[in-house]
Amino acid sequence: MSNQFPVTSNLIHLNHAAVGPWPQVTADAVSVFARENVEFGSLHYLRWVEIEKKLRQQLAELINADSVDEIALVKNTSEGLSFVAYGLPWQPGDNVVGIEQEFPSNRFVWDSLDSKGVEFRQLDLDSSSDPEQALMALCDANTRLISVSAVQYHNGFRMDLPRIGRFCREQNILFCVDAIQQLGALQFDVQSIDADFVIADGHKWLLSAEGLGLFYVRKAVMDRLQILQYGWHMAKPMGDYSARSFELASTARRFECGSPNMLAIHAMQASLGVLLATGLEVIERQVLDNSRFLLLGLCAIPGVEVFSNRSDKRLSGIVTFSSQQLAAEKLYQRLSEENILCAQRGGGVRLSPHFYTPRKQLEQALAIIERVLKSG
Q: What domains does the chain contain, in order, with CATH numbers?
A: 2-22+280-375 (3.90.1150.10), 25-277 (3.40.640.10)
Question: Quick check: 95 pLDDT over 90?
Answer: yes
pLDDT per position as a tens digit, 101-122: 999 999 999 999 999 999 999 9
Question: Quick check: 238 pLDDT over 90?
Answer: no
Q: Could you tell me which of 80, 82, 118 has the C-alpha nearest to residue 97? A: 118
pLDDT for the residue numbered 1: 65
Question: Quick check: 2 pLDDT over 70?
Answer: no
pLDDT for the residue numbered 38: 98
Query: What is the share, in percent, of the chain residues with pLDDT greater than 90?
Result: 94
Per-residue pLDDT band for 93 (boundaries 50, 70, 90) equals: very high
